[in-house]
């Protein structure tokens, strides 16, 4: 192991400061904050689903400030074109009178990109963003350009007002490391939000972590140890989401049309390793795997008609899997 145990403890303290700094500005939404941090550490992307006005834009802008990363927001609309995201080549006249093509970078060339209401853009435009997410590159007129590192996309979608939207296909949803559901704030949280947003006070955010420290943290996540037994347990849990697998539970066989693929296991492991680092450990625990299972897989489990009619949700199916699959074996 390239990193010592005390280095994991020190990095955990830095990340704890990051979370505390974000908490000065963002009220509640602890799961969204935690899993956004896990995804950045795991070098993945997040799909955030919540009602308008719950602070999705403010959350990602705050995280970008605290982590000292560049930030852009792209509002997805039906008339948005791929070139509006990636950029385009324009003709420039040089001092000697000659003309040549020069590439004008689009908003995707930032370290943190907020793709607001991604399901409102056409599939052609969505695919331009998803190439950048999957390959960390952008291709314009046959020329491939690498993205800045670290590169992180937080996409949002609105669970209401579905008219005129283009839902993301399962193959594209699979590119997101996790899906986080934003709950409506409690009365206490709403009162805190009103005090902060309607008063005269201004919150100044400190830049707690720089880019180099973040890249080091991402490398530390990769080197977190996972025992073979826990790896086998994670694989069993993910395989249990497939109705045809021998590990499948009764609920899965009855209510699920399609389960998760190999990317689901990758997401569970990456998020579990990131959670271990945040908690100052250099090894993954059973609690890490159980905690991250629902955010990692809820967008990868597709219910059938019977499941929808019975008012099941991917979360309820995953809860049943966690209860019935013990470490290493189905009960």
What pLDDT is stored for residue 140 in this prediction?
74
Report, as an integer, the average pLDDT of 23-43. 83
44-53, 134-143, 185-194, 285-294: which has the highest mean pLDDT? 285-294
Closest by CA to 71, choosing from 111, 34, 32, is: 111
Higher pLDDT, 134 or 179: 179
Task: State how far the Cα of 305 lies from the Cα of 13, in Å rounded to an integer.
Answer: 47
DSSP state of 119: G
pLDDT of 271? 92
Q: What is the Cα Rg of the chain in Å?
A: 21
Instruction: Output the CA torsion sign for 318, 324, 325, 330.
Output: negative
* CA distance linking residue 289 with residue 275, whole number of Å: 9
When the pLDDT of each residue in the chain is averaged and rounded to a whole number, the result is 82
- C-beta separation of 69 from 150 below 8 A: yes
Mean local confidence (pLDDT), 270-275: 92
Q: What is the helix (H) or strand (E) element at residue 74, kind and residue range?
A: strand 71-75
Structure confidence at residue 272 (pLDDT): 92
Which pLDDT belongs to residue 212?
Answer: 84
Say how many C-beta atoms besides its own lie within 10 A of residue 297's C-beta.
25
The predicted structure's pLDDT at residue 44: 87
Range of weakest confidence among 44-58, 101-115, 156-170, 254-268: 156-170
Task: Tell me how far apart the alpha carbons of residues 210 and 68 are, in angstroms, rounded to a whole number.
Answer: 6
| Higher-pLDDT residue of 52, 275 | 275
Q: What percent of the chain has pLDDT over 70?
A: 95
Pairing of strands 302-303, 178-181: unpaired
| CATH class assigned to 5-79+109-209 | alpha beta
What is the spatial distance between Cα 322 and Cα 148, in angstroms, rounded to a whole number?
A: 38
Those residues with Cβ within 8 angstroms of residue 136's Cβ, 6 or more apart along the chain or in another chain = 146, 147, 149, 151
Distance CA 183, CA 180 (A): 10
Question: Taking 70 as the threshold, does the pLDDT of residue 94 lie above it?
Answer: yes
Q: What is the pLDDT of residue 117?
A: 85
Domain 224-330 of CATH type 3.40.640.10: no
Q: Name the pLDDT band for 330 (thresholds 50, 70, 90).
A: very low
Q: Which of 16-20, 93-97, 217-221, 266-270 has the lowest mean pLDDT?
A: 93-97
Whose CA is closest to 153, among 111, 214, 210? 111
H or E segment and range at residue 257: strand 256-258
Q: Give pLDDT tens digits for 116-150.
A: 888 888 888 888 787 788 778 887 777 778 887 88
Going by pLDDT thresholds of 50, 70 and 90, the confidence category of residue 270 is: very high
H-type alpha helices, 199-258 = 211-222, 228-239, 250-255
User: Is residue 196 predicted with pLDDT exceeding 80?
Assistant: no
The whole-number pLDDT of residue 61 equals: 84
Beta bridge mates, 300: none
H/E element, 189? helix 187-198
Q: pLDDT for 274-290, tens place per residue?
A: 998 888 888 888 988 98
- In degrees and rounded to multiples of 5, residue 132 shows phi and psi of -60, -40
More confidently predicted of 97 and 220: 220
Domain extents for the chain? 5-79+109-209, 224-330
């Amino acid at each position: 192991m390239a990193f010592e145990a005390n280095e994991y403890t020190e990095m955990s303290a830095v990340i704890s400061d990051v979370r505390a700094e974000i908490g000065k500005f963002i009220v509640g939404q602890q799961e969204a904050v935690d899993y956004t941090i896990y995804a950045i550490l795991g070098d993945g992307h997040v799909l955030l689903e919540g009602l308008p006005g719950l602070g999705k834009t403010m959350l990602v802008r705050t995280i970008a400030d605290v982590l000292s990363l560049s930030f852009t927001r792209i509002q997805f609309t039906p008339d948005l074109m791929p070139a509006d995201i990636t950029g385009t080549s324009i003709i420039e006249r040089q001092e000697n009178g000659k003309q040549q093509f020069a590439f004008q970078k689009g908003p995707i060339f930032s370290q943190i990109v907020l793709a607001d209401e991604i399901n409102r853009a056409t599939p052609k435009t969505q695919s331009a963003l998803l190439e950048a997410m999957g390959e960390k590159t952008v291709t314009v007129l046959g020329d491939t350009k690498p993205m800045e590192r670290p590169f992180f996309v937080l996409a949002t979608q609105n669970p209401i007002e579905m008219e005129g939207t283009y839902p993301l296909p399962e193959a594209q949803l699979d590119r997101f490391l996790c899906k986080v559901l934003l709950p409506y704030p409690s009365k206490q949280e709403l009162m805190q939000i009103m005090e902060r947003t309607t008063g005269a006070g201004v919150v100044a955010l400190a830049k707690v972590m720089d880019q180099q420290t973040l890249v080091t943290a991402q490398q530390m996540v990769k080197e977190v140890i996972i025992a073979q037994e826990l790896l086998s347990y994670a694989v069993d849990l993910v395989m249990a989401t497939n109705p045809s697998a021998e590990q499948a539970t009764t609920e899965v066989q009855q209510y699920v049309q399609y389960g998760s693929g190999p990317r689901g296991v990758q997401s569970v492991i990456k998020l579990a390793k990131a959670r271990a680092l945040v908690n100052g450990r250099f090894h993954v625990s059973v609690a890490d795997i159980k905690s991250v299972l629902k955010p990692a897989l809820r967008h990868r489990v597709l219910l059938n008609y019977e499941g929808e009619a019975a008012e099941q949700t991917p979360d309820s199916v995953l809860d049943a899997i966690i209860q019935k699959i013990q470490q290493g074996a189905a009960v």
